Chains A and B, each alone.
Chain A
Amino acid sequence: MAESATPIVEIKGVSKVFRLQDQTIHALSDANLSINKGEFICLIGASGCGKSTLLRIMAGFDQPSSGEALMWGRPIAGPDPSRGMVFQDYALFPWLSVRANIGFGPASRGLGAAEVKQIVDKFIDLVGLAKFANAYPHQLSGGMKQRVAIARVLANDAELVLMDEPFGALDAMTRERLQDELLDIWERTKLTVVFVTHAVEEAILLANRVVVMTPGPGRIESDNALDLARPRDVASPEFNAIRRVLSAKLHSHHGKKAA
């Protein structure tokens, strides 16, 4: 792992405990993670492993029960435009057109109409939705909605893009296309991406580091740097070798929980 002055995100001994009636749920236990600018990190694990909790803590939607989450060395106190979230179910504003959804962030920052228009035009082109600029979300397919959600975050100058199983609800063809596009955008913009998924193949295709998490209590099992050349071929022996290793790590907790 390359050493740089300050990591963009540092997670130090973060635990998250939820109380549901009289039950205590350890969603995340003593997680440590350091992310450098420009990395593409995938958090992978079965449901209940705390990957979404960790992402929500990075976004500032949830606060850690103990430990600290830092961005550029400062505690993450709440949601901020520098950290954009792409949700699995899009969370677009249904009453706004594609154009207005993408312009929502810039307009909220108080930019003038001309400036907002310029930004929107740029990102609407980037995600290839110029023809649908005036459509409403309900008129779009799932893949198009997710493109709007990505453009909305990029238009707001996010340095860190957090993605919570963003392609989980899409069909296989659309998913592949969006994966390619996301990589293309990442390579061109030098963004930092933290991407939550439960699909090993998706993680290996996208990430330069795959963080494997296991449930009960949710914790980080291992942090795996991938040095596969891009573009990656899912059918290659190298790809499959990595897939076998990661799958084994992913299921390592089963042995402990058996019987």
Chain B
Amino acid sequence: MAIADTGPVPAAAPAAVLPRAATRTTWARIKPTVLALIVPALLLAFWQVATTQQWTRLIPTPYAVGEYMVDFAVGGIYDDAYSATLTTHLLASMSRVYGGFALAAVFALPIGILIGRVPTARMLLDPFLQVMRPIPVTAWLPLSMILFGLGAKSAFALVCLGAFYPILLNTIFGVRSVDPKLFEAASMLGCRGNAQFYKVVLPAATPSIFTGLRLGLGLAWFVIVVGEMTGVPQGLGAVIMDGRTLSRTELVICGMIVIGLAGYLSDRVVVALGNYLLRWSPNHHG
């Protein structure tokens, strides 16, 4: 090597005081998990107290919900219409979440790139989309049922709508905020015109686009209940709506918990994927 230089930023934290190092590292390892569980544990305790003290009679105890969750998942306790149906409903919802999300990405990515790079497209589409954006997915429910009919198509359309805007806005931001120096660098290296789009704009925009996709997928889970208010027989949203109609609050709470966990796990997978694909980006480690 012609010159020795300072190496890459060291990843490891400075070593702790030696005799206490073992306990420290154990604590450091479990600390995030412990801290993350404190708030849910407090909420659960409050729920337990509130239901056993009968502050409300309409909400079942945590134990009753837990028992019902087991029945919902594997059956064998109540053996009613919802026993051992969790997988069916989860898969139905997942197909709508990922299907609607994929559909949203198919529309939002090219439109976002167009609005971000072509001034005419921006003037043509941006004002319209800015007016459409504040309209909540719930408001679209009746129109969606008229346009796409009762059932799965409507559910897809509503989930797609929910995921569309975050993907669109982050794509526009990503392709617009490329450092102008990178275009100059590319052109003095012999990369000009359309080639710059593939070799500069797209890679530079990937962190923003990825953020948009992540938010879009989160919103797809967020709007699944509205999406499944369209008269579909299966799905977690459908279960929650049934639970409401039948006054079966434990069913509603079970549906809520499953949506929360499924959305969370889905997000963790996306984040892990992003950390790998965007390992070049210094500020993209979620």
- Give the interface of A toward B (CB within 8 A): 59-61, 78-81, 83-85, 87, 89, 91-97, 104-105, 108-109, 126-132, 135-141, 143-144, 147, 152-153, 156, 174, 177, 181
Contact = CB atoms under 8 A, between A and B. Distances in A.
Interface of B: 1-3, 5-9, 179, 181-182, 184-192, 195, 199-200, 203-204, 206, 279-282
- Interface of B (DSSP majority class): loop
20 contacts: A59-B184, A80-B188, A84-B188, A87-B184, A91-B184, A92-B185, A93-B186, A95-B203, A126-B2, A128-B1, A130-B1, A136-B279, A138-B281, A140-B8, A141-B7, A141-B8, A143-B3, A147-B5, A181-B2, A181-B3
Nearest to B7: A141
A108 B6 contact: no
B275 to A, nearest CB: 13
Contacts of B187: 78-79
B188 A139 contact: no
Nearest to A155: B189
B182 A93 contact: yes
Contact of B189 (A95, A139, A141, A152): A152
A93 B5 contact: no
Contacts of A109: 190
Contacts, number: 102
B183 to A, nearest CB: 9
B200 A91 contact: no
Given A104-B199, A129-B1, 12 more contacts: A81-B188, A91-B181, A93-B185, A94-B204, A94-B281, A104-B186, A104-B191, A141-B5, A141-B6, A141-B7, A143-B5, A156-B189
A136 B278 CA distance: 11
B195 to A, nearest CB: 7
Contacts of B188: 59-61, 79-81, 83-85, 153
Contacts of A61: 184, 188
B9 A139 contact: yes
Contacts of B9: 139
Contacts of B179: 91
B189 A89 contact: no
B6 to A, nearest CB: 4
A138 B131 CA distance: 39
Contacts of B192: 79
B190 A95 contact: no
